Structure 1
Amino acid sequence: MNDLLHEAVLDGPDRSATVYSATISRPTPVVKTMRLGVLNNPLSGGNRNGLGAIYTIQKEFPQIPHREVNTPEDISAALSDFAERGINLVAINGGDGTIQAVLTSLFRKLPFQFHPLLSVLRAGTTSMIAGDVGLCGSRVSAMRKLCAWAKATHHSTPHSEIIRRPVLRIHTAHAQEPLFGMFFGTGGITQGIEFCRTRIHSLGLRGEIAAGLATAMLLASLLRKRSSYVTPTRISTSVNQSPTTQYECLIVIVSTLERLFAGLRPYWGREIAPLHYTVLRANPKYMCRTLPALLRGRKHPYGIPEHGYISHNVERVCLQLECPFTLDGELFGINGDSHQVVVESGGHASFIRI
């Protein structure tokens, strides 16, 4: 049997594919011995009812080490332990914030000689990263399937693939060292997170349903030109080495994900660069005509900067903010606090999907 996995090919006529994440189709060799280690965050949204089912699986595969992690310090200690054990595949049973903490530890501290493969379970409140690069199915079924796969002698199945993504590196005064993640947002993005937590989660809704409902309500408020949900904020930006430009913005996104929740893909740039950068300026024109296409990553004749729509693939974005920002669901900063944030490419991570 051929011990090769194929990297995902997400290219297509309407995709802003880049060589960094979507055009690699050559087979990628995987070592025959997969040494799996599992990180379990009991505080993640999908794990708050307990880890009993996960630890039942652990008993079925006692050779696979599990570590409970609640804090970034826990994650760093667990990854260092995994590196000493020769682990080369790390499963993350947690949400987007847990994945962000894992990436930050891996890229800051470099505990492994070579970065391990990552496998992401849908165990968060939103699990947006898992929706793009994670395992299919519930966290329990995915964990059992992954453990059985890692234990097998051969690691090639008809649906196995390695998905390679760039990783964001964030420089901010709110952290002494760089942060690493996959989705940066500010303006209406942070307002939407607060809205979802206070108005949607209180209804008992979670995951993509909650995020999709919150997004639909926020977009509806924009279409009705109501400002109670999303208010513009002034942001200064410099892309790559370009001069600084000031905007009144509704939304700013910098991401390396190819798919957001509910299948959204709000970037339509065509440049060859690792970061998707999208801006929705205040008072955009022709929203009813343009948004259905732009939210799926398709260009529209009216979706142009003169009408308030900006999207490029870039190497680096420098922003001067007076509002909070989010990195993979975690919030940083406060309103009225002027601070600079630099978002750039920080390397690559490889995710396995079976």
Structure 2
Amino acid sequence: MKKITSGAAEQMASDPQIDPTSSPHQPAVRAGYPRTGIISNSRSHRNRTRGTESVTAPADTADLFYRGPRTLPALAQTLREFRDAGIELLVVDGGDGTVRDVLTCAHGIFAGKLPRIAVVPSGKTNALALDLGLPADWSVQDALEASVHGRTAARSPVEILRGDAVQPELCGFLFGAGAFVRATELAQRTHTAGAFNSFAVGLSLFWGIAQTLFGGHANDWRAGAPMRLQLDDATPAERNFYILFSSTLERLPLKLKPFGPVRAGLKVLAVDAPPKHLARAVPALLRGSQAAWLETAGYRRHDVGAFTLTLDGGFILDGELYEGGTLTVRQGTPLQFVTP
């Protein structure tokens, strides 16, 4: 599936460069740890600011393998090595984009039967880590210790299939179209200005709402994007949507609840364009209000197993922009993630 912007996997380090003096990257190997493969994106925000790109990774041990693939083919080769080595734990040291690329590649290589996964949140955005309750300084050592005690949480990825495909081309956790694309572009600008994680989400949300409220009736934000949306077996809806947002995460940054009460499963928020009563609706939506007037005004929430979407514009999956078309968005098989 073609990206419109450059992806996280292409930005990974050219060597398996991991700082041997830094606790997140030099765990104390001891008996009892699972056989572990570690994929580190040394260009992720936290790793880059620690200067890990200039340091050579420690050598593999019998049960611990370090890699820092730079490209998607190199990532696939690394995952094949891990599969053949029989790893029991896959550690992903990076942000949401790195997790997306690893899960996308791993799905086919492991035939959908992935080992337990541990995320070390070192990216600019770490929504999955936040949902799993991982502390900001969570390390590889922490993940290994937690894995010994069997602490895990199940999360199903969002799988994206194009056309008549039966296997997913992308696996992630945050899907969006319409104003979500514009908001993500704003978030990337806040990263450039030095804002990350929940702070970046807050800034993007504020500016997106401001653009919509004060941009006038001809404003591109208000006009929305033409889409054809079919939820499960329901009658397709073909019109302009202001935003389409979907996720399998249970907790979002800033404790936002656009889908309503916290729950598992694939959730969808579809907002008609132009959005009505936006100044009143946004606070209600974000705090999880279930007031009946929201749906009447065109703010609709759904719990589905899958939906089909056709759109000319692009869509976002975990911070990356991809070309549109006809897509099936579905809830994937639950994966087990190591937690504190």
Partner of 2:75: 75
* 1:142 aligned partner, one-letter code: S
The equivalent position to 1:275 in structure 2, one of 254, 266, 270, is 266
1:21-73: CA deviation from partner (whole Å, max 9, x where unpaired): xxxxxxxxxxx6522221101232332235639979968x9953211022222
Does structure 2 conserve the Cα–Cα contact (< 8 Å) formed by 1:42 and 1:50? no
The equivalent position to 1:236 in structure 2, one of 228, 242, 260, is 228
1:147-173: CA deviation from partner (whole Å, max 9, x where unpaired): 4455xxx516xxxx4211122221126
Partner of 1:145: 142
After superposing the two structures, state which structure 1 stretch, 175-184 or 97-106, moved more. Answer: 175-184
In structure 1, distance between residues paired with 2:183 and 2:238: 22
SS at match of 1:279: strand
User: How well do the aligned residues superpose, as a CA RMSD in angstroms?
Assistant: 3.1
Q: 1:269 to 1:242 in 2, by over 3 A?
A: farther
| 1:298-309 aligned within 5 A | 298-304=289-295, 306-309=296-299
Cα displacement (A) at 1:309: 0.3
Cα displacement (A) at 1:188: 0.7
Which ranges in structure 1 are unaligned for 5 or more consecutive residues?
Answer: 1-31
* Percent of aligned positions that are identical: 28
In the alignment, does 2:321 pair up with 1:331?
yes
In structure 2, distance between residues paired with 1:214 and 1:281: 20
* 1:259 aligned partner, one-letter code: R
Partner of 1:131: 130
The equivalent position to 2:302 in structure 1, one of 302, 312, 319, is 312
Q: 1:230 to 1:207 in 2, by over 3 A?
A: farther
Q: 1:220 to 1:68 in 2, by over 3 A?
A: same
Partner of 1:109: 109
SS at match of 2:294: coil
Which ranges in structure 2 are unaligned for 5 or more consecutive residues?
Answer: 1-31
Q: 1:315 to 1:148 in 2, by over 3 A?
A: closer
SS at match of 1:347: coil
In the alignment, does 2:141 pair up with 1:155?
no
Q: 1:41 to 1:170 in 2, by over 3 A?
A: same
Paired residues in the alignment total 305
Q: After the TM superposition, which segments of 4 or more aligned residues of structure 1 sit over 6 Å from their partners?
A: 53-57
In the alignment, does 2:198 pair up with 1:208?
yes
In structure 1, distance between residues paired with 2:68 and 2:57: 15
1:68-123: CA deviation from partner (whole Å, max 9, x where unpaired): 022222222222222222211111111212111121122222268x4211111211
In the alignment, does 2:39 pair up with 1:39?
yes
Cα displacement (A) at 1:268: 2.7
1:283-314: CA deviation from partner (whole Å, max 9, x where unpaired): 3333333322321333123211x201010100
Partner of 2:312: 322
The equivalent position to 1:343 in structure 2, one of 326, 329, 332, is 329
Q: 1:54 to 1:314 in 2, by over 3 A?
A: farther
In structure 1, distance between residues paired with 2:52 and 2:315: 35
Cα displacement (A) at 1:143: 2.5
Partner of 1:168: 158
Q: 1:57 to 1:261 in 2, by over 3 A?
A: farther
Partner of 1:196: 187
SS at match of 1:70: coil
Cα displacement (A) at 1:145: 2.1
In the alignment, does 2:257 pair up with 1:247?
no
Q: 1:58 to 1:260 in 2, by over 3 A?
A: farther
After superposing the two structures, state which structure 1 stretch, 40-49 or 119-128, moved more. Answer: 40-49
SS at match of 1:323: coil
TM-score scaled to structure 1, two decimals? 0.76
Q: 1:230 to 1:90 in 2, by over 3 A?
A: farther
Q: 1:262 to 1:340 in 2, by over 3 A?
A: same
SS at match of 2:49: coil
In the alignment, does 2:87 pair up with 1:93?
no
In the alignment, does 2:121 pair up with 1:122?
yes
TM-score scaled to structure 2, two decimals? 0.79
Partner of 1:181: 172
Does structure 2 conserve the Cα–Cα contact (< 8 Å) formed by 1:286 and 1:302? no
Does structure 2 conserve the Cα–Cα contact (< 8 Å) formed by 1:273 and 1:314? no
In structure 2, distance between residues paired with 1:64 and 1:52: 19
SS at match of 1:91: strand
* 2:306 aligned partner, one-letter code: R
Does structure 1 conserve the Cα–Cα contact (< 8 Å) formed by 2:223 and 2:274? no
Cα displacement (A) at 1:177: 5.8
